């Protein structure tokens, strides 16, 4: 079926959820049109209760096909709870008209779509927005335009500053995300550009084969701004058809908190690629005095139930909670949030803690009043030349350790904060396979004699020197179990553009909530790559060429150049 053949008149269907019609059944309208201010028509599916009335309306704007249910929302379930849910294809995607240019039209289209949703005869006039990832960012952009009917938003797994968590992190390109995302969205680009179904099928099959080969070919291509699979199929990247460092795209997709005045329900995951942005969005909105709620689970970007990666967190880790234990039920919390803000006269006001986090290690949900927790005590753990990691006391004498970084042999990404890039799954994974490499420095504590809770923002302060004019520094915190498995907790990267000579770097590892249990050990990795999550620093000072050099790296581990891990520790009597 070609793109032109998809369009049809709105169709009304019903879904009763249990095979029977009745008061709990849901009316579904497909391909309902709405016209934007420039004449472009966007199309949506609408789910609403099968009873006469006007309902609080939740709008989800997606580039991922409105006909494919996203794991974060079951629209029929929400409709049975009394909401009208609209799932709309964004401009240039699937059934909607226009040209696909990521981010550039989302503010104005979001404004127009909110106005349209509020004007529907089945709407009570109050509109909320929901959705994850890109569907979360479009909420921020629409809210910044301030459409009057918009009463609340609920962005899930969404970034804040596009230059620190979307397009790049610490100066390094988010290669795994950018290339995977571009190819994933390329199938609809091809379908809209061809003239026949045969051509669409053949080109789509070629793209699928090349997608499967990203780990062996695509990620390795140099220069990084000229990847053959994108050029051959005419696929836009995260920055559209523009260069990877285009300021316009970064500017338009960065959240402007001062322009957002509606209440916000923020959802994040300790292993989500946008965790840092989610936490920054929450603290920024709270600082502006706006009502905000935060919920952070042990989730990665696409896995929201136990197990996450190779760690088991129990039934409570599921995004939808556990039987007879609603504390971690994210869907219930979101429905309550929207009920309070879209139909406040119909619900009883309930005071909920502004923050709910999942404490890994002990595996339970806990309410907090502020983020980061003010009761956390900062504690330094020093990197020592013999590979020890020691609290509070650095080595007196100057000392350093060395390794070589070869861009042709980068350290492979194993788990972490990512998206499900081919062969590189996000979440906590055993890191022992890379800990034996000569280009990964490993620093481990003694086994803990008591539980140690780390909740809050984490950083590594690194004294480092390189033979290269530009290089990368990567730091990672791991939880080492008594059986030797070493699970990543969080990591970060810093691109050093003037790396020669000793310099002090602060590597932001974002945040976590994890109890390192008695008998476990803390472990820190220091290296210069995590590929393909981040692009390889070529050690030349020019990332847009194919040449690279091997760099000699030195890390200070004593005296005036003592490197350390900076942790927020929660005393057990205050947990």
Q: Which of 228, 250, 272 is the last residue of a domain?
A: 250
Cα separations in angstroms, 398 against 384, 402, 503, 505, 561: 11, 14, 14, 17, 7
> Which DSSP state fits 244?
T
Residues 33, 120, single domain; the answer is: yes
Which pLDDT score is estimated for 195?
A: 77
Q: Is residue 534's pLDDT more than 80?
A: yes
pLDDT score at 346: 64
Question: Can you give 356-375 as a three-state secondary structure string?
Answer: EEEEECCCEEEEECCCCCCC
Cα-flanking dihedrals φ and ψ of residue 317, to 5°? -75, -15
Residues facing 57 on adjacent strands: 84, 127
Question: Once rounded to an integer, what is the mean pLDDT over residues 532-545?
Answer: 92
Distance CA 292, CA 286 (A): 6
**SS3 category, 241:** coil
326 and 278 fall within a common domain: yes
Residue 377 burial (10 A CB sphere; 0-12, 13-18, 19+): exposed
- pLDDT at position 125 over 60: yes
> Which residue has better confidence, 345 or 534?
534
Q: Is the dihedral of CA 316, 322, 325, 329 positive or negative?
A: positive
Q: Are residues 415 and 286 in the same domain?
A: no
Q: How confident is the model at residue 237 (pLDDT cuts 50, 70, 90)?
A: low
Q: Is the pLDDT of residue 231 over 60?
A: yes
Query: Contact 300/418 with Cβ under 8 angstroms?
Result: yes
CB atoms within 10 A of CB 381: 21
Determine phi and psi for 106, rounding to 5 degrees: -70, -30
Distance between CA atoms of 426 and 415, rounded to whole angstroms?
Answer: 4
Residues 514 and 405 placed together within one structural domain of the fold: yes
* Residue 440 contacts residue 450 (beta carbons within 8 Å): no
- My answer on whether 85 and 117 are in the same domain is yes
Per the domain annotation, does 99 fall within a domain?
A: yes
Backbone angles phi, psi at 203, to 5 degrees: -70, -35
325 and 471 within one domain:
no
Mark whether 115 and 205 lie in a shared domain.
no
Give me the chain's average pLDDT, please: 90
Query: Smallest Cα–Cα separation from 230: which of 266, 180, 302, 282?
Result: 180
DSSP state letter for 387: S
Q: Under a CB-based contact definition with an 8 Å cutoff, are residues 557 and 385 in contact? A: yes
Give strand pairing partners of 551: 405
Reported confidence tier of residue 501, pLDDT bands at 50, 70, 90: confident
Q: Is residue 235 part of a domain?
A: yes
d(CA 169, CA 161) in angstroms, rounded, equals: 10
Domain count, the chain: 3
Query: Residue 376 above 50 pLDDT?
Result: yes
Residues 506 and 392 in one domain: yes
CATH code, domain with 433 = 2.60.120.260
The 10s digit of each residue's pLDDT in 559-571 is 999 999 999 999 9
Q: Which of 89, 272, 302, 329 is catalytic?
A: 272
Place of tokens 């699928």: 208
17-36 mean pLDDT:
76
Choice between 375 and 217, residue whose per-residue pLDDT is larger? 375
Q: Is the pLDDT of residue 143 over 80?
A: yes
Helices and strands (H, E) in the chain, number of each type: 12, 27
Dihedral of CA atoms 380, 384, 388, 391 in degrees, nearest 10, equals -20
Percent helix, strand and coil across the chain, each to the nearest 5: 20, 35, 45
Q: 131 with 174, same domain? A: no
Q: Which of 111-125, 164-178, 281-295 has the lowest mean pLDDT?
A: 164-178
Residues of the chain with pLDDT > 90, as a percent, come to 70
What is the spatial distance between Cα 74 and Cα 67, in angstroms, rounded to a whole number?
A: 12
For residues 412-438, one letter each, b for 16 or more C-beta atoms within 10 angstroms of the residue's C-beta and e for the rest, the string is bbbbbbbbbbbebbbbbbbbeebbeee
The 10s digit of each residue's pLDDT in 185-222 is 888 888 888 778 888 788 888 888 888 888 888 899 89
> Residue 270: inside a domain, yes or no?
yes
Residue 520 pLDDT greater than 80, yes or no: yes
Q: 223 is written with which tokens? A: 């220069």
Residue 147: pLDDT above 90?
yes
Contact 126, 151 (CB under 8 A): yes
In angstroms, the CA 84 to CA 469 distance is: 57
- Which tokens go with 437? 């490499």
Cβ neighbours around 444 below 10 Å, total: 16
Strand, helix or coil for residue 506:
strand
- Catalytic residue flag (residue 272): yes
| 209, 234, 250 - which closes a domain | 250
Residues 123 and 91 reside in one and the same domain: yes
Per the CB < 8 A criterion, the answer to whether 138 and 90 are in contact is yes
Q: Burial of 29 by CB count in 10 Å (0-12 exposed, 13-18 middle, 19+ buried)?
A: middle
Residue 15 lies in a domain: no
Q: What is the pLDDT of residue 500?
A: 73
For residues 149 and 414, what is the distance between their CA atoms, to the nearest angstrom? 44
Residue 73 domain-assigned (yes or no): yes
pLDDT at 7: 39
Are 237 and 261 in a shared domain?
no
Residue 328 has pLDDT above 80, yes or no: no
**Candidates 301, 341, 417, 525; catalytic one:** 301
**Domain interval for residue 63:** 20-156+255-345+352-368
**DSSP H or E segment with residue 249:** helix 247-252
Q: Which position has the token pair 């804040």?
A: 160
- For residue 132, being part of any structural domain is answered with yes
SS3 451: coil
Query: Is residue 3 domain-resident?
Result: no
Span 240-250, average pLDDT:
60
Residue 100 lies in a domain: yes
Encoded tokens for 277: 């942005």
Instruction: Please determine, for residue 3, whether its predicted confidence score (pLDDT) is greater than 50.
Output: no
Q: Is 301 noted as a catalytic residue in this protein?
A: yes
Nearest 10 degrees: CA dihedral of 129, 296, 172, 189?
Answer: -40
Regarding whether 450 and 356 lie in a shared domain, the answer is: no
**pLDDT, tens digit, 9 for 90 and up, residues 433-487:** 999 999 999 999 999 999 999 999 999 999 999 999 999 999 999 999 999 999 9
pLDDT value for 118: 98
pLDDT value of position 226: 81
Output the pLDDT for position 8. Answer: 40
DSSP at 38: T
Q: Of 25, 34, 133, 160, which is the active-site residue?
A: 133
CA-to-CA dists, residue 550 to 217, 407, 439, 453, 530, angstroms: 21, 7, 12, 39, 16
Q: How many CB atoms lie within 10 A of CB 530?
A: 26
φ/ψ of residue 182, rounded to 5: -65, -45
Select from 221, 217, 189 the least CA-distant residue to 203: 189
If residue 215 lies in a helix (H) or strand (E), which one and from where to where? Answer: none
> Comparing 2 with 459, which gets the higher pLDDT?
459
């Amino acid at each position: 079926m070609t793109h032109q053949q998809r369009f049809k008149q709105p169709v009304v269907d019903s879904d009763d959820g249990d095979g029977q019609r009745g008061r709990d059944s849901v009316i579904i309208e497909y391909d309902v049109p709405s016209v934007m201010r420039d004449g472009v028509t966007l199309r949506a599916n609408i789910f609403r209760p099968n009873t006469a009335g006007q309902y609080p309306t939740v709008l989800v704007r997606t580039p991922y096909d409105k006909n494919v249910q996203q794991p974060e929302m079951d629209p029929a379930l929400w409709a049975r709870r009394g909401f009208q849910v609209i799932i709309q294809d964004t401009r240039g995607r699937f059934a909607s008209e226009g040209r696909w240019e990521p981010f550039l039209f989302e503010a104005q289209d979001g404004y127009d779509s909110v106005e349209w949703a509020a004007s529907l005869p089945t709407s009570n006039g109050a509109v909320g927005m929901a959705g994850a990832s890109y569907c979360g960012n479009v909420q921020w952009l629409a809210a910044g335009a301030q459409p009057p009917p918009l009463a609340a938003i609920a962005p899930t797994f969404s970034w804040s500053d596009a230059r620190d968590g979307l397009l790049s992190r610490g100066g390094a390109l988010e290669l795994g995300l950018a290339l995977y995302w571009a190819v994933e969205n390329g199938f609809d680009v091809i379908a809209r550009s061809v003239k026949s179904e045969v051509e669409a099928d053949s080109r789509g099959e070629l793209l699928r084969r090349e997608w499967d080969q990203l780990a062996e070919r695509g990620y390795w291509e140099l220069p990084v701004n000229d990847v053959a699979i994108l050029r051959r199929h005419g696929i836009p990247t995260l920055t559209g058809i523009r260069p990877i460092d285009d300021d316009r795209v970064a500017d338009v997709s960065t959240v402007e908190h001062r322009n957002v005045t509606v209440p916000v329900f923020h959802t994040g995951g300790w292993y989500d690629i946008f965790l840092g942005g989610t936490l920054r969005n929450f603290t920024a909105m709270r600082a502006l005095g706006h009502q905000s709620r935060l919920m952070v689970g042990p989730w990665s970007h696409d896995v929201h139930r136990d197990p996450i990666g190779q760690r088991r967190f129990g039934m409570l880790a599921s995004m939808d909670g556990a039987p007879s234990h609603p504390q971690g039920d994210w869907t219930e919390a979101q429905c309550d949030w929207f009920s309070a803000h879209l139909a406040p006269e119909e619900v009883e006001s309930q005071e909920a803690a502004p923050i709910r986090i999942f404490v890994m290690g002990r595996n339970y949900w806990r309410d907090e009043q502020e983020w980061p927790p003010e009761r956390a005590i900062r504690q330094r753990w020093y990197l020592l030349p013999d590979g020890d990691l020691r609290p509070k006391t650095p080595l007196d004498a100057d000392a350093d350790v060395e390794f070589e970084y070869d861009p042709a042999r980068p350290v492979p990404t194993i788990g972490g904060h990512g998206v499900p890039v081919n062969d590189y799954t996000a979440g906590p994974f055993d890191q022992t396979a890379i800990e034996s490499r000569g280009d990964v420095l490993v620093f481990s504590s003694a086994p803990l004699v008591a539980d140690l809770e780390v909740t809050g923002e984490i950083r590594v302060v690194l004294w480092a020197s390189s033979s290269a004019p530009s290089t990368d520094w990567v730091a990672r915190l791991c939880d080492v179990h008594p059986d030797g498995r070493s699970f990543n907790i969080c990591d970060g990267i810093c691109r050093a553009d003037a790396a020669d000579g000793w310099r002090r770097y602060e590597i932001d590892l974002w945040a976590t909530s994890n109890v390192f249990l008695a008998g476990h050990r803390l472990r820190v990795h220091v290296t210069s790559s995590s590929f393909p999550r981040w692009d390889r620093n070529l050690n030349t000072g020019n990332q847009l060429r194919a040449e690279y050099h091997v760099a000699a790296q030195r890390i200070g581990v004593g005296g005036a150049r003592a490197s350390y891990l900076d942790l927020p520790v929660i005393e057990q009597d205050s947990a």
